[in-house]
Structure 1
Amino acid sequence: MNNNPRQLAFIILQEIHRKQAFADFALDKYLRKNDLIDANRRLVTELVYGCVRRERSLDAIIDELAKKKSHQQNPDLRIILHIGLYQLSYLEQIPESAAVDTTVELAKQNKF
């Protein structure tokens, strides 16, 4: 069971990218397994659907800012970057400092 919404979003996005899973099925599967408070369920849902929906624009930001193009990034690191950039670019309710901090922590937790 995972109560960290960003880590859970990361796991779901891994499944979507690695196994070509449908976002709605993968999201439902993991939300059923994990007992999250409503606010965290909403955040996981927003991060997963948002990262899937905005994948190209998030890749364009990576291409513009990073030394390596998005397609050259480690696939898991690319997902983490998507989560962080999505929060910074599209979620006004999350302070920028929190988005950066949680993304760095997510990278550390996943050995980057």
Structure 2
Amino acid sequence: MNYKIGLLMLLILPLFSCNQDIKFDSEKWKNAGGESILLDTRLNMTNDLIESKTLINKSESEIIELIDSPSRLHGKEVDTIKYFAVQEIYGWDIDPEEITFLKIIFNKKGKSTSVELYSTK
């Protein structure tokens, strides 16, 4: 009986944890890093963050103040593009199946010109 209830909860849980857009909040974003990067908190803020253009025309240091430091992607590092972690999704092993980033492009003056979601999958 308990097995059936547990299985039912696993099937219903994704329905309640679907992407629910929320307004960007810098402190909540920063607190959703580290071990909490598995949660949808940052992902749910990305639409507001992109549509409001909060990160546009900002320097890398200004962006770091708002959303923390960029991640390093092997083979993708260039001065004009930075990747900021949004969410990690894991399967059955220790390596993530997918990582979602904010991909931010900077102009020659060091100001951000575009922000978009980038996924490793």
TM-score range, shorter chain: under 0.3
Structure showing the higher strand proportion among its residues: 2
Normalised TM-score (structure 2): 0.23
The structure, 1 or 2, with the larger RCO (C-alpha pairs under 8 Å, 6+ apart) is 1
Q: Which has the higher helix share?
A: 1
TM-score of the two chains, using structure 1 as the length reference: 0.24
Instruction: Indicate the structure (1 or 2) with the bigger Cα radius of gyration.
Output: 2
